[in-house]
Structure 1
Amino acid sequence: MVSIPTPIVRPLSTTGIRGLDDILGGGLTPNRVYLIEGNPGSGKTTLAMQYLLEGDRAGEPGIYITLSETKAELLDVAASHGWAPTGIEIVELTAQEEELEPDNQYTMFQPAEVELGLTIKTILAAVERVKPTRVVVDSLSEMRLLAQNPLRYRRQILALKQFFVGRECTVLLLDDKTSEAHDLQLQSIAHGVLSLENLSPEYGADRRRLRVTKLRGQTYRGGYHDFKITTGGLDVFPRLVAAEHVSQVDRSRLESTCAPLDALMCGGIDRGTSVLLVGPAGSGKSSIAISYAYAAAMRGERSALFVFDERVDTLLRRAAGLGMDLGPHIASGHLTLQAVDPAELSPGEFAHVVRRAVDGADGHAPAKIIVVDSLNGYLHAMPEERFLTSQVHELLTFLGHKGVVTFLVLAQHGMVGRMKSPVDTTYLADTVLLLRYFEAGGNVRRALSVVKKRTGAHERMIRELWLDGGIRIGEPLAEFQGVLTGTPIYRGRVVPGGEPDHG
C-alpha cells in the first residue's frame, strides 16, 4: 500500500491589507509567484509596497526591483503615505543618463539582446545578495519590450519563476497592461492573479475595485471588491456575503414614540426585519424612521443614521420641531449620524461602514437600528443601476441575520396623483409603509397606510398623518374614496381647515 505524504501546511504570507487578506482567505501561499495587473494609477505600486512593509514588520527581508520608476520616485510614494521603508532594498534598473550618449548606443547587436540579459543578470545578483523572502518586480512591461517576442518573454519569466521558487521567495510581478493584447500566457504561469481596476464615472471621484482572477489551491472570495487609496495605503472593502453572518437574534418588537403608529403594525416592528417607507418628498418618511431611532436611543439602544440627501443640521432642526431632541443621544453615542456623499462613497465602502456600525467596530456600541435616508442616494452611488437590487438584498439579509431593524427611505417621483419609483424594492422589504398627499377641503393633507408586513398582522385602513409638533395618526379615512390617487372623492362632511367630522 502506497502511503500518501501529509502536505506541509505553512503560515500564509499576509499582505498587510486587512480587507485583502480577508478576500484571499488569510493571505498568499508563500514561495510562489503572483501577478498583480492593472492599468497605470490603479494602485499596484502601493499594494506592493504595503506587502514589503508587512514583511519587514515580520522580520522578512524584502527587495523592490524597479524597471520603470526611479528609487527617488518610490521613496516619494512611500513618504506620501507616511512610510519609511528603511528595511526594504530598492534596486533601480531604469535607464541611466550615460545611455543617452551616441557612443553608448548598440550598433552590431540588437539592444534587446544585450539589455535583457543584463537586466536578468542584475535581478539575479540582487536577489543572491539580499536573500529576500519577499520580492516585487515592477514592471513586466519593460521586460516584455526587451524580449521583443512572446516565446523569449515566456521563457525568461519561467526561468525567473524557477529561480525565485528555488530560493523560497514570494514574488509579486507587477504588470501595467500597456501591451497591445491581454497576456493570458503570463496568467497561466503565475500561482495567483490579482486584477486592479480604476473606473472613471462621468461625475464624482474615481472608483477602484479589485478581483482575484486566479488563486491555486486556496479558497477565496470571488467577484469584485471596492477599494480606495488613502494616506496609509489601500483600504479594501470585501464584498458582503450575508450567508457568512448567520446568528441567533432577538425576535422582540421595536416601538416608536407614537403608540398609534405602532398599533398600525399590531404592536410594532419585529427585530431582524426591514421597513421600506415609500412616498413623495416631504410626506413624512424620514420623520417616521427617526421616531423609531429616537425611541431606541431613549431605551439605551444605539441607532445609526446614514443621510444621503439632507444636511445633518437640517435633520436635527426638523427632528427638534417634532419634539425629538437628538443632541443628547448623539453626545452619549446612542445615536450616530453620518452624511454620505454618493459621489465619493462606493457601494462596497458603504456596506463596509454599515457592517462596522452593526459589529460595534466603529468605536460605539453595536447598532440595533440602521436608517438609510434615502435609497435614492444609494442608487446614485451605484456604478451600474441594475445591480442595486442584488446589493440591497445582500445588505438587508446580513442586517436581518444580526437582528437589526433597517429603515429604507425611498422618495417617489411626483407630488400628487400618479407616483413613480426610481427602482422597485418593495418585494425586498419585510414591511412597507406607503405615504401620500391628498387634497380635501382646499387643504393638502398626508395619508399613511401599511400595505405589507411579512411577519404578522397589520391594519389595512388608510389613516391621516400629521406632523405638527410631533407625529400624530388620525382616524381611518373611511369617508374618502381614492386617497392613494391624490384626488379622492369625499363621501362625508368636512370641517374646513380641520380634521374630518366623524360626528
Structure 2
Amino acid sequence: MSVEQAAPENGRLVATGVEGLDEILGGGLTPNRVYLLEGNPGSGKTTLAIQCLLDGVRRGESVLYVTLSETKAELTAVARSHGWSLDGVHIVELIAEEADLEPDNQYAMFEPSEIEQGAMARAILSEVENRKPSRVVIDSLSEIRLLAQSSLRYRRQVLALKQFFIGRRCTVLLLDDKTSEVQDLQLQSIAHGVVSLEQLSPEYGAERRRLRIAKLRGQLYQGGYHDFTIRPGGLAVYPRLIAANHGAEDSVEPLKSGIDEVDALLGGGIEFGTSVLLVGPAGSGKSTLSTQFAKSAAEAGMRAAVFAFDERRQTLLKRSRALGMDLSGVIEEGTLTVTQVDPAELSPGEFAHQVRKAVEGEAGEPGAKVVVIDSLNGYMNAMPEEQFLTAQLHELLTYLGNKGVVTFLVVAQYGLVGDMQTPVDTSYVADAVILFRFFEAKGHVRQAISVIKKRIGEHERTIRELRLSHRGIEVGGPLEQFQGILTGTPQFSGPNDSLMRRGDD
C-alpha cells in the first residue's frame, strides 16, 4: 500500500461507481481535485468515466461530459451497450464539424491552434459556469495536446484548467489515450491522482485488462496491478488479494470425510483453516476424494464450493453419481456450488475474486467453509504467460486460511507409473499432502493412498488400498508389504487376504 499523510476535505470521498475500484482507492476520490485517467485506446477509459458520472447522477449531482473526439451519438451508443441511459449527463461536443473542411473556413493569417484552442477553452469554461457541475470529464487531452503544439503551451493550458476547476469545486477526470510519440509525464506531475489502464493480448485466449493507481496524493490505496473486465454493465474491477487485510478466524472441529478409514489416515480429519494437496497420476482418485470432502461438508450444513478447471460441470456431476455420490440434493439446497472455470477467459485476479465471493457469501448468506480447486494443472495452464502465479496462489491460500476455510488443491502428476513429475511444486505451501499411487498385485492394477505430510496433529504413516466403485470410495486396512511406494512403482508382496476383495475375485 501507498499513502501520503493528508485527509480528504470534509472526510467525504467521491465514489467512482465501480465497487472494486473504490475499494482499491480506499473509498473513492478526494473531492474537488483533478485526476488523470490514462490508457491506450480500447482500455476502458470512456466506460469508466461514464460510470463515474452516472454515479453522480444517482446522487443528484450535476455532471458534465466534454468530448473533444467522440460525438454524442457515439457516447450514447456506448452507454446503451451497457444498458445505461445518459439522461442527466450534460454532454458538450467540441469536435470538428463538416463545415470546417471547406476551403473558405481554413485559416490563412493565423495558426489554427491560436484560434481553436482559445475557442475551445472558452466553451469549456462557459459550460462549467452555467451548469456548475460537481463532476466533469474531459475526453480527451490528445486534442488539447495537438492544438498546443508545444509542451510548454500544453502544460500551461492544463494548469490553467486545473486552477479553474479547483476554484469551482469540481472533481475532474482528464482522459488521455497515450497516443503521443513519447511518454508525457507532465500530466502525472500536475494531476492529484493517476489511474493507469492497460489492455494485454496473450498468445491464446481473450484479452486481459488491468489497472494501477500510479499516484494518489494524501490517501491510502492498494498499490500494484489489479485485474478488471469490461462486460455489459460496465467495468468489474478485482482488487488484488491481500491476505493480511483479513483477520484470522478460530477453527472448529476437524472436517470429516464420512469415510472412517480416510479420517483415520488423517488423524481424525482435516482442521479448518488449512490446505490439503492431493497429488498423484491421472485417474488415481484425487478429484473423487476432494468431492467426497465437499459433499460431506455440505451434508453437515456447511457450504462448499468446487472450482472445476479440467472437466465440465455435467461430467463432474455424472462421474460423482456413478461413484455413489449424488450431488444433486446438496446443490439444490444451495450448500454445494460447482463452478466450471473457462481457462482461456480468466485472469488470476478474477479467479481470486470468484473464490473470495464464494467464501464471504452474499446477501447475508454464510460463505463456503470448504473450497476445492480441481486442478492446479488447469489453473497454471489457464494463465501460461502470467508471472508469479505461485506467489498469487500462496496469497490466496493464506487468505482462505485466515477465513477458516479448508482448501483442497488437486495436482495431477505426469505419467501413470514410474518416475512421477509434478508440474508445480506447491507442497511447501500446503498443510497436508495426500499421495495417490497405482500398484500391481496378482495381475490387477490397484490404487493406494497415504498421507505423507500433516502440519497439525498426528496422522497415519501407513499405506492403504483405495478402491472406487459404484458403492463410492472404499479404503482397506494398512498394507505393510509394500516397497518403492515413493518411487512411483510400488511393489506388493503380501498375501491375497491383505487386499480388498473385488467383485470379480
Would the TM-score normalized by the shorter structure come out above 0.5?
yes
* C-alpha distance in 2 between matches for 1:85 and 1:236: 22
CA shift for structure 1 position 385? 4.6
Out of 7-16 and 165-174, give the one that drifted further: 7-16
Instruction: Give CA-to-partner distance per residue, 1:57-106, whole Å, 9 cap, x none.
Output: 11111110011101110011111111111111100011000001111111
- The 1:363–1:279 alpha-carbon spacing in structure 2 relative to 1, beyond 3 Å, is farther
Letter matched to residue 472 of structure 1 = E
Q: After the TM superposition, which of the residue ranges 361-370 and 40-49 deviates more from structure 2?
A: 361-370
Q: 1:496 to 1:251 in 2, by over 3 A?
A: closer
One-letter code aligned to 1:286: S
Q: Which residue of 1 aligns with 2:229?
A: 228
- Match status 1:479 vs 2:478: no
Separation in 1 of the partners of 2:366 and 2:10? 38
Residues 110/208 of structure 1: CA separation in 2 closer, same or farther (3 Å cut)? same
Tell me what 1:177 maps to. Answer: 178
How far apart, in 2, do the equivalents of 1:25 and 1:225 lie?
14
Partner of 1:135: 136
How far does residue 466 in structure 1 lie from its aligned partner after superposition?
A: 0.7
Distance 1:224 1:497 in 2: 54
Structure 1: distance between partners of 2:340 and 2:364: 17
In the other structure, the counterpart of 1:268 is 269
Residue 494 of structure 1 deviates from its aligned partner by: 4.6
Q: Tell me what 1:306 maps to.
A: 307
The 1:7/1:256 distance shift into structure 2, 3 A limit, reads closer
Per the normalisation by structure 1, the TM-score is 0.95
- Distance in 2 separating the partners of 1:94 and 1:122: 12
> Which amino acid in 2 is paired with 1:53?
L
CA distance in 2, matches of 1:202, 1:241: 28
> Cα distance, 1:495 vs. partner?
7.4
The SS at the match of 1:9 is helix
Partner of 1:369: 370
Segment drifting more, 133-142 vs 464-473 = 464-473
Alignment of 1:439-454 (within 5 A): 439-454=440-455
Q: CA offset at residue 363 of structure 1?
A: 7.8
Contact 1:262 1:268 in 2 (8 A): yes
Unmatched 5+ stretches in structure 1? none
Maintained 8 Å contact 2:419/2:489: no
Q: Percent identity?
A: 65
When normalised by structure 2's length, the TM-score is 0.95
Map of 1:103 onto structure 2: 104
Residue correspondence of structure 1 range 324-343 to structure 2 within 5 A: 324-343=325-344
Aligned to 2:167: 166
2-structure distance, mates of 1:229, 1:48:
13
Describe the superposition over 1:397-443 as per-residue Cα deviations: whole angstroms up to 9, x where unpaired: 11111111111111111111111111111101100111112233332
Structure 2: give runs of 5+ residues left out of the alignment.
1-5
Per the alignment, in what secondary structure is the counterpart of residue 453 of structure 2? strand
2:437 corresponds in structure 1 to: 436
Q: Is the 8 A contact 1:461 1:476 kept in 2?
A: yes
Asked whether the equivalents of residues 476 and 500 of structure 2 are also in contact (C-alpha less than 8 Å), the reply is: no
2:15 match: secondary structure: coil
How far apart, in 1, do the equivalents of 2:499 and 2:55 lie? 70
Distance, in Å, in 2 between the alignment partners of 1:264 and 1:497 is 17
The one-character-per-residue Cα deviations of 1:171-207 (angstroms, maximum 9, x if unpaired) are 0000001111111111000000000011111111111
Cα distance in 1 between the residues matched to 2:499 and 2:221: 64
Q: Distance in 2 between matches of 1:60 and 1:490?
A: 77
**Shift in Å at residue 498 of structure 1?**
6.6
Which residue identity does 1:382 align to in structure 2?
M
CA contact (8 A) 2:66 2:124 kept: yes
Amino acid at match of 1:291: Q
Counterpart of 1:488 in structure 2 is: 490
> Structure 2: which amino acid aligns with 1:188?
S
Rounded to whole Å, the distance in 2 between the matches of 1:10 and 1:17 is 20
Quick one: which amino acid aligns to residue 391 of structure 2? S
Alignment of 1:51 onto 2:62 = no
Match of 1:394 in 2: 395
- Pick which of 110-119 and 288-297 moved more: 110-119
Which residue number in structure 1 is paired with residue 79 of structure 2? 78
Conserved 8 A contact 2:202-2:385: no
Cα 1:65–1:390, aligned 2, differ >3 Å: closer, same or farther?
Answer: same
**CA shift for structure 1 position 383:** 5.7
Q: Aligned partners of 2:492 and 2:285: how far apart in 1?
A: 23
What amino acid is the match of 2:477?
E
Aligned residue in 2 for 1:17:
18
Give SS of 2:438's match.
strand
Number of the residue aligned with 1:297: 298
Cα distance in structure 1, aligned partners of 2:11 and 2:447: 65
Give 1:486 shift.
3.6
Q: Counterparts of 1:411 and 1:6 in 2: how far apart (Å)?
A: 51
Using the alignment, how far apart are the partners of 2:209 and 2:9 within structure 1? 36
